[in-house]
Amino acid sequence: MQRTIVQEKPAVYFSSVYGSTRVYAEALATALGRRIVDITDGVPAGEVWNEEAVPLIFVGPVYGVKLLGSEYAAQAARKVDTTSAGQDVAFVTVGLTDPEKAAAKDSSAKFFGEEKDRIRRFYVPGRLHYPDLRLVHRTAIKGMLLYYSTKPGTSAFEKELVASGGVGFDKVDTEKIRPVVWWAQAR
């Protein structure tokens, strides 16, 4: 009997707690003709990260001292880019830090350890709807807003965040993923 091996089309891997990162993953998948794979609770069995699967794309939100999914992107980079800093893996960080400032500081670099030079990083703005937040998250966000409201040199983006008061903030804009699409298409 002859067996046919069906190769899955490439994926966009994402982690998300409240759904905003999923929106970006879906937009990327649509633009690039990929599937989306939710890795919030781990990478499903059967996902293969090798040279044939590149460029690999990960999308994940920042939660304080964590960048969800960053450990998997580092793992993938170790697998597909063993010899040089070829940057066959991209990580799109979703957050409420002003994305221009985050990009200028490259604030996600620290989450990738030794693999940081193998990963191409992008930054896009996220979303928070305060009434939906778990209590522990709401408390943490209050601290973040307090910090932004008192620190000198607050950006327009940060002022908007503070002004969002008790409702929340929605900066999700799928147009912002264009540079990621161009990067992937050029590989």
Ligand X SMILES: Cc1cc2nc3c(=O)[nH]c(=O)nc-3n(C[C@H](O)[C@H](O)[C@H](O)COP(=O)(O)O)c2cc1C
Segment near ligand X (CB under 6 A), from 1-9, 137-145, 159-167, 175-183?
A: 137-145
Q: How far apart are CA 180 and CA 183, in angstroms?
A: 5
Is 162 a binder of ligand X (CB under 6 A)?
no
> Which x/- pattern over 50-69 shows residues binding ligand X (rule: CB under 6 A)?
-----------xxxx-----
**Sequence-distant contacts of 135-138: CB under 8 A, at least 24 apart:** 137/17, 137/63
Q: Is 130 in the site for ligand X (CB under 6 A)?
A: no
Q: Residue 127 has which token pair? A: 């979303």
Q: Cβ neighbours of residue 15 under 8 Å, at least 6 residues apart?
A: 21, 38, 39, 40, 59, 60, 61, 68, 69
Site for ligand X in 76-115 (CB under 6 A): 94-97
Site string for ligand X, 5-34 (x = CB under 6 A): -----------xxxxxx-------------
**CB of 97: closest distance to ligand X in angstroms?**
3
Distances (CA, A) of 11 to 31, 37, 102, 162: 12, 6, 25, 36
3-class state of residue 119 by DSSP: strand
By CB under 6 A, name the one of 92, 141, 180, 184 that touches ligand X.
141
Q: How far apart are CB 154 and ligand X at their closest, in Å?
A: 14
Cβ atoms 137, 68 nearer than 8 A: no
Site residues, ligand X (CB under 6 A): 16-21, 61-64, 94-97, 126-128, 133, 137, 140-141
